[in-house]
Structure 1
Amino acid sequence: MRVLQLIDSLQPGGAERMAVNYANAFSKRIPGSYLCCTRKEGLLKAEISPEVGYLFLDKKNTLDLKALLKLRKFVIKNEIHLFQAHSSSWFLALMVKLSIPKLKIVWHDHYGRNLNKRRKKILRIASRFFEGIITVNAALKEWAEKNLNSKEVRFFRNFLPDAQNRVPVQLSSLKGQQDSFKILCLANLRPQKDHLNLLKAFETIEKVYSQASLHLVGKDKEDNYSIELKTFVRRTHLEEKVFFYGETQNVKELLLQADLGVLSSASEGLPLALLEYGRAGLPVVCTTVGECPEVLGKEGLLVPPADPKVLSEAILHYIDHTGKRKEAAENLQKKILEEYSERTIFPEVENFFRILLQE
């Protein structure tokens, strides 16, 4: 079995991290594991195992013939059997398959927005050519079964690698007063993550507990959404308590310095940030969106989205109750290591792929 992960970018994000996780996991188990980044490289490139065959297309537009031919040549040369196409990369996978009919496609759906507004017409037609679909939560599986045409739809949890490639990074500390209660949000700055909800909650928290600080770690496009968040911070005079970090490779080190992990999202798929929080031993507060309730269960505090008052109350509860906070963190860490690890999830996926390739 020879499998290629297809992903548009290697900038830190959930789908991008999972593409790397799958490529690295396959490289330990099969003779040919590959990853193709179609449009833009990024920090995650350094986390790809040396055993993974890598290709960068530098694709300029949707119908980039040069990139298509380059990928087709790579597939033929390396005798690749199956594409695991993450998110929107399914289109390029389909273009290659039309010229190599025996090539199989498994589409990996990481969609984390409002499913009621999702466009499906073109995807429904394309799905006739998918041998299988993987979804990251149960709602996406139900949506695919109802709206698409692939006969094999499976829900597999996202997972964390059993062993991480050590990427040399410049160690740094979380900003602000080191003795503050450090709340960390690991999420790229985009509307679905609803950082404004968190900032409004933190405004309340800071008035009650002045020793709190908020640390926002994730890609900053410096767009209108980013400007809105930073304007709010200035207007509420929280510049010395709220810190923006952008994308960084030393996420693990920053998590180990935090006291609490939070996600205030309006919508999600299955956020890897929750798994990272759990593995780092952090207590967690997050919104009841996507697969978050299933991941967290009773081992954290769940709040409704777009409700900064309830979010602030939940965070303050953990600040005030050290024992409950530590117990929840320990239980969540155990759950993540047992139920969301590579050794637990990946064998099911590998078996699914082998079944598809036998057909």
Structure 2
Amino acid sequence: MRIIQIIDSLDAGGAERMAVQIANELQIAGHESHICVTRREGLLKKTINDEVGYLFIEKKGKLGIKAMTKLKTYIVKNNIDTVHGHSTSFFTATIIKWWIPSVKLIWHDHYGNAEDLDNRKVGFLRKSSRFFDGIISVNQILKDWSIRNLKPSKVIYLRNFVSNSLEQQLLKPLPGSSGKRIVHLANLRPQKDHTTLIKAFQEVTKNTTGWNLLLVGMDFQDDYARNIKFTIEDLKLDEHIHLLGSREDTIAILKACDLGVLSSKSEGLPVAILEYGLAGLPVVTTDVGACKEVVLGYGKVVPFQDINSLSQAIQEFIANPEEAKSMAHSYQQHVMTTFGAASYIEKLETFYSSL
């Protein structure tokens, strides 16, 4: 098969990571694999395999006819038969399907606000879905929503996966002491609910000493980010909470930490909790999206926006390091077995072939 992934940016987000990982793993599996970035390059560009075909079309505005023509020419030249559009790139992918009806079009729904689907804008997405040959949803809630609201021929739920093919070194020393670092891997977006985590960590600092919280993710310099910084200052946690921004050495950072936390109030299936497992971290996550289904009994799952429950779960791992180590090891094995690349690509190939 000749397949192209389409994604709007290469910022270090979950959908972007999945698009790159799928492109890489399809190439490793022997397919002619390509990836098109429509609007903005980013940190993840360096993680694309050299053998994967790469196209950046620099799309401007809603239609971006010049950019779309560039993409169409690339697809025709490379005899691409399958277009796999991710998240908001469905519009670009739909235009390609309209221009080249012979290609198979898959839309991959990574929607992170799965707990608030009633307010999801569906108008143009529903119209575009008439051109979709299939939809991939990252959790059961999104699959059910697509069946109710959209018009594709096939919808499947395919859980995200992680690839263990990349080794990294820390680009610079991390704040805090070895053995006492908590990491939260998430871009600074409201759904990630950093505020609840910060307030929960304040309680942690009252009962423990020396622990630091590392917030890794893109800072969009907006009101939400400014509120996070204000809360940290207001609670006098400047010496214990560190905003590291978006980093190229994420894997190395995780391996240098001791506990992975996700405090989201809404999710699809976050790649972060899979990466925590791959890095051998014990995990505390909120019960949103597919998080509980992923973590099972290998980590601690708490209600979202519950400061006390989140703080207590973190402190239980800190107070019981042997339990934390044992659960982390079990979770790592679970992630490698259940969410590995080989099984995912086999299921994806079957879905492609069925369309």
CA distance in 1, matches of 2:164, 2:350: 18
TM-score for both structures, normalised by structure 1: 0.96
Q: Residues 313 and 162 of structure 1: is their aligned pair in 2 closer, same or farther, counting only changes over 3 Å?
A: closer
| CA distance in structure 2 between the partners assigned to 1:203 and 1:143 by the alignment | 38
2:345 aligns with 346
Q: Distance in 1 between matches of 2:285 and 2:165?
A: 27
Which one of 141, 156, 159 corresponds to residue 158 of structure 2?
A: 156
Partner of 1:262: 261
Instruction: Pick which of 288-297 and 219-228 moved more.
Output: 219-228
| Structure 1 residue 171, shift from structure 2 partner | 2.8
For residues 31 and 275 of structure 1, the distance between their equivalents in structure 2, rounded to whole angstroms, comes to 25
- Residues 186-240 of structure 1: per-residue CA shift (max 9 Å, x gap): 0001101000010010111111113221100011112111110111111111111
Per-residue deviation at 1:29? 2.6
**1:260 Cα shift?**
0.4
2:26, 2:180 → 1: CA distance? 40
In 2: Cα distance, 1:104 partner to 1:41 partner = 25
2:131 corresponds to which residue?
129
Aligned residues: 353
Aligned partners of 1:194 and 1:265 also within 8 Å: yes
8 Å CA contact 1:287–1:303 kept in 2: the answer is yes
1:295–1:159 distance in 2 versus 1, CA, 3 Å: same
Q: Do the aligned residues in 2 keep the contact of 1:36 with 1:56 (CA within 8 Å)?
A: yes
Q: Deviations over 1:282-304 (max 9, x none)?
A: 00000000010011000000000
1:53-84 Cα shifts (integer Å, max 9, x gaps): 00001111111110111111111111111110
Look up the equivalent residue of 2:130 and give its one-letter code: R
Does residue 289 (structure 1) correspond to residue 283 (structure 2)? The answer is no
Query: Any stretches of 5+ residues in structure 1 without a counterpart?
Result: none
- Is the contact between residue 339 and residue 345 of structure 1 (CA under 8 Å) also seen in structure 2? no
CA contact (8 A) 2:170 2:253 kept: no
Residue 107 of structure 1 and its aligned partner are, at CA, apart by 0.2
Match of 2:332 in 1: 333
Q: Could you give the per-residue CA deviations for residues 116-175 of structure 1, whole angstroms, max 9, x where no partner exists? A: 2111122112111100000111111111111111120011111112423x57x6532321
User: What is the aligned partner in structure 2 of residue 67 from structure 1?
Assistant: 67
Farther off after superposition, 79-88 or 21-30: 21-30
Whether 1:324 aligns to 2:326 is no
Farther off after superposition, 11-20 or 29-38: 29-38
**Separation (CA, whole Å) in 2 of partners of 1:41 and 1:89:** 14
Q: 1:14 corresponds to which residue? A: 14
1:109-188 superposed matches below 5 A: 109-113=109-113, 114-164=116-166, 171-176=171-176, 178-179=177-178, 181-188=180-187
Q: Give the 3-state SS of the residue equivalent to 2:256 in structure 1.
A: coil
Alpha-carbon distance between aligned partners in 2 of 1:347 and 1:81, rounded to the nearest angstrom: 18
Report the secondary structure of 2:225's partner residue: helix
Paired letter, 1:202: F
Cα deviation code 1:86-127 (max 9, x no counterpart): 001010111122111112210000001121211112211211
Please tell me the residue identity of whatever aligns with 1:39: R
Q: Provide the secondary structure at the position in 2 that maps to 1:38.
A: strand
- What is the distance in 2 between the residues matched to 1:321 and 1:305? 23
AA at the equivalent of 2:47: E
Distance 1:221 1:126 in 2: 29
Measured after TM superposition, the shift of residue 26 of structure 1 is 1.0
1:278 and 1:329 in contact (8 A); partners too: yes
Structure 2 contact 179–258 (Cα < 8 Å) conserved: no
| Alignment partner, residue 35 of structure 2 | 35
Q: Where does residue 100 of structure 1 map in the other structure? A: 100
- Are residues 31 and 278 of structure 1, via their aligned partners in 2, closer, same or farther at CA, if it must alter by over 3 Å? closer
Which secondary structure state, in structure 1, belongs to the residue aligned with residue 285 of structure 2? strand
Residue 164 of structure 2 contacts residue 278 of structure 2 at CA under 8 Å; is this kept in 1? no
Amino acid at match of 1:154: I
Unaligned residue ranges in structure 2 (runs of 5+): none
In the alignment, what sits opposite 1:307?
306
What residue number does 1:249 align with? Answer: 248
Identity across the alignment (%): 44
SS of residue in 1 equivalent to 2:159: coil
2: CA distance, partners of 1:142 / 1:286: 23
| Counterpart secondary structure, 1:196 | helix
Alpha-carbon shift at residue 241 of structure 1 (Å): 0.4
C-alpha distance in structure 1 between counterparts of 2:104 and 2:344, whole Å: 22
